[in-house]
């Protein structure tokens, strides 16, 4: 099985020691990734974007990989500011305040008029808006409740490309076809697990993430669009590393680490559903079209050979640690 220029359209690389330890695992098998800006402090200026990109390049150690940079959304941004860095970023990421890891400086409320100046500027400059779409309601309903906000944004700014990040519900899937300017990323873990896998028996901290895994019918809706590579969906791992002690503790950190095993597990999943012919579109082609980007040429050759997922990657426990899966990476060809 060969995948050409795979892309991860939602990736957390963190910073400092964690960046140095884990960035190489994405850079090894992916041609590029949309890099999340929720550092501490968040990435909000041109200088911070350029500096973070340089730290990523240094961390990956010469591997062929493009970090597509993003800016942490703030209502104070104006057209002059955005125009000055439009060639340094691929998108801007909007977080509701306090809804997920390092999002305390996000948006409080979604007053369309308050957001209008920056969102109109983004529309004119053709800068996509990526959104973590959850309210602060009951945890299982947060994403479904947010759909009406997506509808408001899509209607008020019809020329703005809006990416619904890491969707988990059938309501989000249904919204895709109601608005021309709505798109979505889907994670590996939300295609594989439901809340029952997280908390149906003994609590599984390494399967805990936000948005939390949902119901079987939600997973089926995600599988339906992913497996047929609906042209408005693309792969975004939301791979989010935390040190083992932060996951296996009281107050478990939200995030699932999948970067080193994503392509193997996606290949296994798509084969199980007789859909290997659509994997290339889901893993790369759709993203290139949606974002209008060129990916660095790279070929990933996978073989049907058992692979035991390691117990950890430099202190970060991956999803399905110690499990044996069907596919392995045979080689990576840099073109």
Residues with a catalytic annotation lie at: 238
- The 8-class DSSP code of residue 247 comes to H
The C-alpha angle with vertex 230 and arms to 127 and 168, in degrees rounded to 5, equals: 80
The answer to whether the CB of 319 falls within 8 A of the CB of 206 is yes
List % helix, strand, coil for the chain (3-state, nearest 5).
40, 20, 45
Total residue length of the chain = 335
The answer to whether the CB of 234 falls within 8 A of the CB of 259 is no
- For 11, the 3-state DSSP assignment is strand
Match 């426990």 to its residue by tokens.
317
- DSSP H or E segment with residue 288: helix 286-291
């Amino acid at each position: 099985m060969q995948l050409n220029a795979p892309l991860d359209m939602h990736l957390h690389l963190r910073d400092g020691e964690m960046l140095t330890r884990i960035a190489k695992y994405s850079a090894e098998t992916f041609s590029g990734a949309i890099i999340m800006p929720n550092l501490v402090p968040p990435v909000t200026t041109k200088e911070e974007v350029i500096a973070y990109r340089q730290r990523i390049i240094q961390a990956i150690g010469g591997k062929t990989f493009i970090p597509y940079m993003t800016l942490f959304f703030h209502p104070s941004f104006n057209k002059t500011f955005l125009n000055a860095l439009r060639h340094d970023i691929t998108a801007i990421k909007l977080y509701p305040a306090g809804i997920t890891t390092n999002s305390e400086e996000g948006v409080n409320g979604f007053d369309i008029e308050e957001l209008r100046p920056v969102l109109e500027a983004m529309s004119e400059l053709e800068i996509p808006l990526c959104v973590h779409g959850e309210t602060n309601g009951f945890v299982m309903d947060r994403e479904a409740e947010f759909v009406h906000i997506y509808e408001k944004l899509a209607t008020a700014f019809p020329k703005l490309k809006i990416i619904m990040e890491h969707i988990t519900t059938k309501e989000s899937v249904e919204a895709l076809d109601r608005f021309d300017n709505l798109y979505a990323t889907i994670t590996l873990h939300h295609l594989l697990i439901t809340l029952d896998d997280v908390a149906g028996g003994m609590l599984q901290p390494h399967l805990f993430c936000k948005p939390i895994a949902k119901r079987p019918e939600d997973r089926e809706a995600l599988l339906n669009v992913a497996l047929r590579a609906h042209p408005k969906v693309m792969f975004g791992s939301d791979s989010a590393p935390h040190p083992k002690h932060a996951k296996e503790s009281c107050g478990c950190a939200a995030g699932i680490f999948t970067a080193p095993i994503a392509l193997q597990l996606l290949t296994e999943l798509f084969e199980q559903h007789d859909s290997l012919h659509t994997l290339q579109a889901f893993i790369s082609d759709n993203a290139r079209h949606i974002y209008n980007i060129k990916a660095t040429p790279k070929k990933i050759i996978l073989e049907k050979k058992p692979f035991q997922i390691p117990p950890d990657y430099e202190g970060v426990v991956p999803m399905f640690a110690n499990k044996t899966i069907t596919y392995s990476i045979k080689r990576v060809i840099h073109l």
